[in-house]
Amino acid sequence: MPMNLRRLRAQWTAVVLTLSVAGCNGGAGDAGARDAPNVPAVAAPAVPLAPSQAAGHRILINDVATLVRFKGLLKQQAAPALRFKALVDAEMAGEQAYAFMPWYAGLMARVTGDEAYCRFAVQRTEAFVAEEEALIRTGSRPTVAGDSYLEIGPLVGNVSLVYDWCRGTLTDSQRTRWVAYANQAVWNVWNHEQAQWGGIRQPWSGWSVDNPVNNYYYSFLEATMLLALATEGENDLAAQWRSTFRQAKLESELFPTFTRDLQGGGSREGTGYGTAMKNLFRLYDWWERSTGERVATATPHALASMAHLMHAIVPTLDRLTPTGDHARDSTAALFDYHRDYLLVLMRLFPAERLSGVAASLLAASSVPRMANGFMAYSDYLYDPSDIAALPLSTLSTAHWGAGTGQLAMRTSWTRDAAYANFICGPYTESHAHRDQGSFTLFKGTWLAYDANVESHSGIEQAETLHNLVRVELDGAVVTQREAAPPCELHALADNAHFTYGAARITPVYNGHTAVVNMEREFLFIKPATFVVFDRVQTRNGARRVWTLNLPVQPTVVGDTMSLVQGVHRLDVVRLSPTGLSTALVPWAASNPGMAGGVRVDAVDAVGDRSMFLHVLGTDGAMVRAEHNDEPGKLGARIVLADGAVATVRFATDASGGSLELRDASGATVRSGPLPTTVQVLPLFAQ
């Protein structure tokens, strides 16, 4: 289910500025028990709230230092502040910008002291609430209930922010009605089976109300937190919403889940939907500035996520490694949301070395400032100009996120570095893909990728789009199973010479009888050569298909193939099994949902066991690769472009193997078994 801001433009900009602020009757009352939806119906007779408290504010700007910083940026005519103010001024002049939120004007009122901004924010928000009330009176679901309440965060959040920051501009009737509407929406989220509007039962699925790893959850939290803070002392349910947010959801659900399941940061929804974490991090920040309580450090996840995202960004700093669904943009281009993700974390952790590295990364990236007006608020609120930049080389060149199963590695932090991502972990979310054991390769451009980037939808999840060994039985793919036991990364090491990961993928098939064993060992020999070894055993006549997805058609000669993409190239040598036929499947011709790309399939249908050994070199890093076996081991002797020689062998009947590295002079650099344990990778190079 997508997180899509496109709806907001229709919801907000369709409201003309000349609409009257007079609305229909609202209602107020006591909170009901979970099995009795006694939250006031919007159409009930109005009961006045407590007297207005126009002098005080409860959200964000009640923190003196924060408001002083906002005012200071505007007074100094800092570019982010001027851009944000210009956006708001243009909207008030009638521009109707994409996805503009009225709270932008409410914030500007508090920064400048000009109440005209609040009159505008209240008028826009009142028109929205009145439209919602009109839908409710007809027995229809209001906009906020659409798509399983996905947009309740920004919609009720806006009502709450304008309520707080423009309290003195609201009439008592508006305050009563806005709170009644927001109360009902939030109550419906947490009581989905008893949900109602205008006294009419309108239950919904309750999708992810108890799943802290899902993007919907953060929208629910946003509405609950902001409504609680904005209406404290004026809303009989405010204390309940505060307790729901802080104790029932953060303390009892989210914190323990993140600590247990998301080691290393990031999201199990992938690098597309995983950007929704930015909304959660913003709540951490606003809660701290509004209440004084720091929650960002309640789990290691928030800080770890800064490193996780930076390692997911490829060396050219203009896109991410594509994992999971990418519905908004299938190409995984670096976008404003990723900038926002890092900016919020930098503001939460301004003294951390990671924040200094993130400052350098953003400045050198393809989004050095927000490209879209509706995100201009982030550059202003989280302006990083006071954070001292540190070089990208401060970071280590490999990162392992056990909670997401993402192992990212690169030669260096220069733009011409080789980069790979290897996946082995849990498969538990609907936006994740059936890609356990797969990898991507990048050097200047994608050389081997997740073919989902070529899809029109961005949500193509099948095994065929990923670089792995798939099992086919009776003409059908044996699929990896969501919520099955996770892929196990049982060996991991990174050093100056190589990065290595060994994965047991078998558990993800959840005991399917056709899959007896599935293992992959992934070796990155620096600076730009990769060795992939697969042990696969099947039964019942299933066949094993080694798959590589490429952006353009390669040249295939026997057991070798080469791909040229501009000035970059990928050379692939199959050392085992030899003599397999290679099928090239152009995606656009075989699937109308795809725009391009080529799938390479090498099928082994002989017997029930396959030992696939491939060597992949980028930009000429590999001169040649040839067999170098020992009893019980399959091996390769690889001559590298600088004259160095790598000899790697893998056991055929057990995990692991050996690696010998000699430099151009023949001196031994490293000789011994491949690692058998999971090394804790350092965050920093030094």
- Report which residue type is found at 643: G
Structure tokens at 167: 């309290």
DSSP conformational letter for 268: T
SS3 327: coil
Question: Region 655-670: what's the mean pLDDT?
Answer: 96
Percent of the chain at pLDDT above 90? 92
Confidence band (pLDDT; 50, 70, 90) for 38?
very low
> What sign for the dihedral angle of Cα 194, 197, 203, 208?
negative
Residue 42 is predicted with a pLDDT of 41
Residue among 197, 216, 105 nearest 151 (CA): 216
For residue range 342-374, what is the model confidence (pLDDT) as tens digits?
A: 999 999 999 999 999 999 999 999 999 999 999
Residue 6 pLDDT > 70, yes or no? no
For residue range 175-205, what is the model confidence (pLDDT) as tens digits?
A: 999 999 999 999 999 999 999 999 999 999 9
607: left (phi over 0), alpha (psi -120 to 50) or beta: left
Question: Region 660-676: what's the mean pLDDT?
Answer: 97
Point out the least confidently predicted range of 9-18, 546-555, 604-613: 9-18
**395 - beta bridge partners?**
684
d(CA 408, CA 308): 9
CA distances from 644 to 230, 617, 634, 640 (A): 65, 14, 20, 5
What is the CA angle 313-316-319, rounded to 5? Answer: 45
Chosen CATH of 396-673 out of 3.40.50.740, 2.70.98.70, 3.30.720.200, 2.102.10.10 = 2.70.98.70
Query: What's the maximum distance between 2 C-alpha atoms anywhere in the chain?
Result: 89
**648 - beta bridge partners?**
636, 659
d(CA 295, CA 283): 9
Around 265, how many Cα atoms within 13 Å sit in the side-chain half-sphere?
27
Interstrand relation of 446-448 and 469-473 (parallel, antiparallel or unpaired): unpaired
What is the CA angle 132-133-135, rounded to 5? Answer: 65
For residue range 439-455, what is the model confidence (pLDDT) as tens digits?
A: 999 999 999 999 999 99
Query: Using an 8 Å Cβ cutoff, are 503 and 424 in contact?
Result: yes
For residue range 501-513, what is the model confidence (pLDDT) as tens digits?
A: 999 999 999 999 9
For residue range 10-28, what is the model confidence (pLDDT) as tens digits?
A: 444 433 322 222 233 333 2
Q: How many CB atoms lie within 10 A of CB 236?
A: 18
Query: Using an 8 Å Cβ cutoff, are 105 and 85 in contact?
Result: no
Point out the least confidently predicted range of 3-7, 310-314, 387-391, 481-485: 3-7
d(CA 533, CA 277): 35
Structure tokens at 62: 């009640």
Residue 23 is predicted with a pLDDT of 32
Residue 407 is predicted with a pLDDT of 98
d(CA 249, CA 295): 13
- Cα of first residue to Cα of last residue in the chain, in angstroms, is 42
d(CA 226, CA 316): 38
Q: Which residue has the higher pLDDT, 16 or 113?
A: 113
For residue range 306-337, what is the model confidence (pLDDT) as tens digits?
A: 999 999 999 999 999 999 999 999 999 999 99
Query: Using an 8 Å Cβ cutoff, are 346 and 306 in contact?
Result: yes
Residue 56 is predicted with a pLDDT of 84
619: left (phi over 0), alpha (psi -120 to 50) or beta: left
Report the interhelical angle of 152-165 vs 215-230 (nearest 10°): 20
Average pLDDT, the chain: 92
d(CA 400, CA 377): 32
Residue 215 pLDDT > 50, yes or no? yes
- Residue ranges of the chain assigned to CATH 2.70.98.70: 396-673
CA distances from 158 to 15, 162, 512 (A): 15, 6, 49
Residue 686 is predicted with a pLDDT of 76
Residue 12 is predicted with a pLDDT of 45
Residue among 5, 17, 3 nearest 377 (CA): 5
Interstrand relation of 657-662 and 668-673 (parallel, antiparallel or unpaired): antiparallel
Helix H or strand E encompassing 173: helix 172-190
SS3 26: coil
